[in-house]
Structure 1
Amino acid sequence: MRQSGARLRWRMGFPEMKVLASSSYDAKTLKKLGQTTLQHTSAHGIPNIFRSCHWFRRLVWLFFVSFALCCALWQCTEMVMTYYTYPSHEKIMLISSTKLKFPAVTICNLNSVRLSAINRSFAMVTSLQDSGLEQTHRRNRSHVNASSEYQDESIQYASAFNRFASEFNQLSDEQKVEMGHQLDDMLIYCNFHGQECNASYFSTFINYKFGNCYTFNSQKPTDYRGNPWSTQALNITKAGFMYGLHLELFIQQIEYVRDMTHSAGIRLLIHDQAQMPFPEDEGVNVPPGAETDIGLMKVHIDRLKSPYISQCTEGEDIKNFYKDVYGAGYTREACKRTCAQQSIIDNCGCSHWEFAYPKELGNPKCNLSNTAVRDCVKLYEFKFAHDELICHCPLQCKEDIYELTVSGSQWPSSAFIENFSKDLKEWGGQMKDVADNPSLIRDNFVKVVVYFKQLNFELIEEEPSMTVRTKEINLLSNMGGLVGLWVGFSVCTLAEFFELLLDVILLFIRRCIETVNKEGYSNPYIQKPSSIYLQRTTKL
């Protein structure tokens, strides 16, 4: 009996029996550890799931806590996504200054080619006759009451004008400049900020629609004759009518092409010096026989580069033919026109006269007499007009916009016209031919005044909604507020769950160590008891 009892006690002390008991103990301890933490956590709602006595209340609390947790996760996700969109806002300020940079002022005669120059060129006379401008103009007048026919005639006139413009733009730049209106003939008076100015203050460029255009205060290194000139912009220190730019111009209506130019005057455009002017799309018409006063209000816009919403650019790594040809800075319009020109070059094999094109690239000008070329060019003109071209043209980061207030009065007045007529006779030339007729004087002369209404300017600045220093702090505080609102989490709550995680890790480490120690020792001289015997002794 003693041997049986000792043998029984010895068998009950086998390591296998202790391993079974240890597993049961570990599982119970892990469950108890989790329940203890959740029952006493500072997160509101979770302890109520375990404290509820009735199953229905426990189920309601479980549903409510799960719903609140999902809402908190959803709103935090939205907040993080908003954070990575880099939101911004606009700040508008009125800046007072004692000195403002005067903008560039571009003027173009509404008549692009002088009649006397066309008459001297047999080829241009033939081109004008072949284009059908005279016939379409006559048909337009005879069918003015039929709206559908009038629309068709307008399309025909536009097509005829394009044919003539295509022939004209086949000429060299020197020939086109010679055929256009000359600044020396047009400019009869110039005054800026109370001081006289002259033609050397202007630079020139060729526009496909208006011919020779002249820019005052363009900051280019040469004037319109090609002579060296200062690149510093002119400034004004006083606002008002007396301290702006005063121009008197002779538009030479006697040189207008009858069937091509339907309105008289000049096209005037006010822009920043770095911007390429596009008078065919921007600007105002200034009529003859009037003094047109244009008051300016400057608006400066500062945008943010990527990754912010505007994703503006300074023109880095973006092709700009207007910079290559005219030295102009990057603008969105210049980029779109460069893209249109590149599309025509790639698909039609020629360069279009409507857009800038560097001569060194070597592509010929488009000849619209070729049907295939004409159809191809029309297709991409249509795409350009309807903004269907695939172009990467973001906004420029810095932009100056000038808001205009335009007013006018009769000029020269009846009291002044006699003295003005005497001056015209002294100047001679074509002005002498119109000096004796007040009606012809008012038909051929333009006066324009451009001035700042005040020295203040409006600054529209795009700013990050969250600055570099505070955006992480704002994100964390906002997320903390949402989680605290929905589920009552705080930093202390996170510390509790962190402590729970450490306890679980330590528990598993301790279990692994105990398992290794128990399985690591075995007596090779002791026979392993059978599972049947183990079960019997366990029941005992």
Structure 2
Amino acid sequence: MGKMTLGKIRKSFSQNTSCHGLPQMYVSTNKYQRIFWGLTTLDVFAILVAMLTIRIMEYNQNKTTTTFSEKYVEKMDFPAITICNFNNFFNIEEGEERDAIDELAKAKASGTPIDFEKIKYFDTVYNGSIREFAIEKGWQMDEDTLVYCFTEDDECLPHNFTYSITEIGKCWTYKNPPATRRAGTHHGISMVFNIHQDEYSENVGWGNWEAGVKVQIHSPHDVPEVDELGLAVPVGYMGFISVTKKEEKIMYEPWGGCQPDNEELHFYDTYSRPNCFKECFQNELEEYCECKMYYSENPSLTQECTPRETVDCLVNISYFARSYLTPTNCECQPPCHSTVYSSSISYAKLPNKAVEDDVNEGQVSDLAGINVYFERMSYTIQEESKAVTRTGLLSDLGGQLGLWIGISIVTLFEFIQFLLMYCYESIATKLRRKKGSQTSNAAQSTTNKSDTRLGFSQDNV
């Protein structure tokens, strides 16, 4: 085997590499064939660079792919059901009590200054606690209010409901209904309420004009937003509420909008946008008002606002906060995993003529009912994923390299071997030349010395 030179190394690599194009350029004996293969190789390489650039740019755009699937199950757990009466307070006496709630409603609805003398009623009768007043005078869930309530297999009773004080009064939540094994109205939860319309106390200028209930179907882990998202059921009607369930799984940043490291709240065990916004809103009120509103559910150590502080806060801060604060302003990102319940409603007259005579005469004009049922025994799973993963990017890049110029992992090792051999031979060649130059210089120096000595001898002769 002859001695390897740089030219031989280049020729050997070009003729034997698995990279397409180079062997054809060196093997071709015709000049035009070499030009053809040279231009073809350059064109293909340019296309390869463009394709690789496009793939890398797509990866850096952090795009996502959303997939939808339907999961069928044997039983479905009902969501929480929250019901609020359109009326805030009941059995209100004319005089000081009426004046007090009218001023409170005015401050809450309009954000305009009020007569503070009229709200002293809460100080004298309820020790300055509007919350205690709302608990006592709000809509009560008892046997008179809950006319009937049935699930698929059992009866639900007033003690199955828990109350919460909200901006629209005392609301009631049925949180853990039994699961159902079939879809449809006959396998749902039916409730009929006595709304006690004769005890309504809404002000014509600042209160609600409607009669009936508002209902929201929501996750048991979320705070209800009945005032904003509730479905209205008017008095004298039965609302049939069809429910569908969807699980959403979204990507974390920068691919999606969720932030798993920030899904922690102070007052709620489960992170969700409603919980986050509720906490943010109440924190803003507590910070600026330096007290806790009577409808605040935050279990903080902050004291409840006095009646004077309540109306001051409602007039100066709360009205503005309701108009200005949003989930975006509060930095409430969507959760990475959440359960969403969608609902639609249809109505039927309640009661019908056939049973009207059997209903208590005082209740006929006060009935409002709901029937909550699942539309189907399945739920949708919506899941985001990376459109281009690192593994996918590497596979795509490898495919492009292999398709256009035939490069594989083996080819990369060929290039590495070529570079090592080329570098080694380049260094060895330089060293050999340097050594040869030094040897030549030494020989020349020896010859010159010999000639000099010989010259002196002849002169002497």
Inter-partner Cα distance in structure 2 for 1:67 and 1:477 = 23
**Against the structure 1 CA distance between its residues 98 and 31, is the aligned structure 2 distance closer, same or farther, given a 3 Å change threshold?**
same
100, 125, 141: which one pairs with 2:99? 125
Amino acid at match of 2:418: L
Residue by residue over 1:358-416, the C-alpha shift from the partner in whole angstroms, topping out at 9 and shown as x without a partner, is 43145958947659x9555555433325x66151x232233333333422221111221
For residues 99 and 206 of structure 1, the distance between their equivalents in structure 2, rounded to whole angstroms, comes to: 32
Which deviations, in whole Å up to 9, do the C-alpha atoms of 1:269-316 show, x marking residues without a partner?
A: 1122122211112121011112222232333x1415536733546786
Q: Distance between the aligned counterparts of 1:457 and 1:84, measured in 2?
A: 33
Deviations 1:416-469 (A, max 9, x none): 111113xx5xxxxxxxxx36xxxxx23x111221122433333334456678xx
**Which residue of 332, 355, 367 maps to 2:273?**
332
User: Which stretch of structure 1 is more off in the superposition, 186-195 or 361-370?
Assistant: 361-370
Q: How does 1:86-101 map to 2 (within 5 A)?
A: 88-101=64-77
Within the candidate set 390, 395, 402, 1:484 is matched to: 402
Unpaired stretches in structure 1, ≥5 consecutive residues: 1-25, 134-156, 220-232, 425-433, 436-440, 534-540
What SS class does the counterpart of residue 280 from structure 1 fall into? helix
Residues 1:478 and 1:163: Cα distance change in structure 2 (over 3 Å): farther
**Residue in structure 2 matched with residue 181 of structure 1 by the alignment:** 139
Q: Over residues 164-212 of structure 1, what are the superposed CA-to-partner deviations in whole Å (9 max), with x where a residue is unaligned?
A: 9xx799844222111211111421211112422211111111111x211
Q: Say whether 1:43 aligns with 2:19.
A: yes
Who is 2:163 aligned against?
204
Counterpart position of 2:355: 416
Q: Distance in 2 between matches of 1:407 and 1:378?
A: 34
Q: How many residues were matched structurally?
A: 432
Do 1:109 and 1:265's aligned partners in 2 also have CA atoms closer than 8 Å?
yes
CA shift in 2, pair 1:509/1:482, >3 Å: same
Paired residues for 1:166-315 under 5 Å: 171-184=129-142, 185-208=144-167, 210-216=168-174, 218-219=175-176, 234-256=178-200, 257-259=202-204, 260-299=207-246, 301-304=247-250, 306=252, 309-310=255-256, 312=258
Q: Distance in 1 between matches of 2:304 and 2:47?
A: 62
Q: Is the 8 A contact 2:241 2:371 kept in 1?
A: yes
Aligned ranges 1:65-80 → 2 under 5 Å: 65-80=41-56
Indicate the RMSD between aligned Cα atoms, in angstroms: 4.3
What amino acid is aligned across from residue 283 of structure 1 in structure 2? G
Alignment of 1:143-182 (within 5 A): 158-159=109-110, 171-182=129-140
- The secondary structure found in structure 1 opposite 2:334 is coil
Would the alpha carbon gap of residues 460 and 111 (structure 1) be closer, same or farther in structure 2, given more than 3 Å must change? same
Give the deviation of 1:75 after TM superposition.
Answer: 2.7
Shift in Å, 1:112: 1.2
Aligned 1:388-403 pairs, distance under 5 A: 389=329, 391=331, 393-403=332-342
Q: Whole-Å Cα distance in 2 between the matches of residues 67 and 347 of structure 1?
A: 68
Q: Output the CA distance in 2 between the equivalents of 1:348 and 1:175.
A: 20
| Match of residue 318, structure 1, among 256, 264, 276 | 264
Contact 1:303–1:312 (CA<8 Å) still a contact in 2?
no
- The CA deviation string for residues 460-483 of structure 1, in whole angstroms up to 9 with x for no partner, is 34456678xxx63x4444222212
Sort the Cα spacing of 1:519 and 1:52 in 2 relative to 1 into closer, same or farther, 3 A: closer
Give the TM-score, by structure 2 length.
0.76
Deviation, 1:109, is 0.3
CA gap of 1:490–1:194, structure 2 versus 1, over 3 A, is closer
SS in structure 1 opposite 2:150?
A: strand
| 1:161 to 1:354, Cα distance in 2 relative to 1, 3 A | farther
Is 1:91–1:462's contact at 8 Å kept on the other side of the alignment?
yes
Q: Which runs of 5+ in 2 are unaligned?
A: 452-461
Cα distance change on mapping 1:161 and 1:113 into 2, 3 Å: farther
Once residues 161 and 111 of structure 1 are traced to their aligned partners in structure 2, the CA distance between those partners, rounded to angstroms, is: 22
Mapped to 2, the partners of 1:401 and 1:317 lie a distance apart of 17
2:372 alignment partner in structure 1: 450
2:419 corresponds, among 496, 501, 510, to 501
**Contact 1:320/1:334 (8 A) holds in 2:** no
Q: 1:420 is paired with a residue of what secondary structure? A: coil
Relative distance call for 1:384 and 1:194 in structure 2 (3 A) is same
Judged with a 3 Å threshold, the aligned counterparts in structure 2 of structure 1 residues 356 and 68 are, in CA distance, closer, same or farther, namely farther
SS at match of 1:281: helix
Number of the residue aligned with 2:458: none
Cα distance in 2 between the residues matched to 1:129 and 1:374: 11
- Partners of 1:351 and 1:107 in 2: CA distance: 24
Q: Distance in 1 between matches of 2:241 and 2:446?
A: 110
- 1:103 equivalent to 2:103? Answer no
Q: CA deviation at 1:82?
A: 4.5
Percent identical among aligned pairs is 23
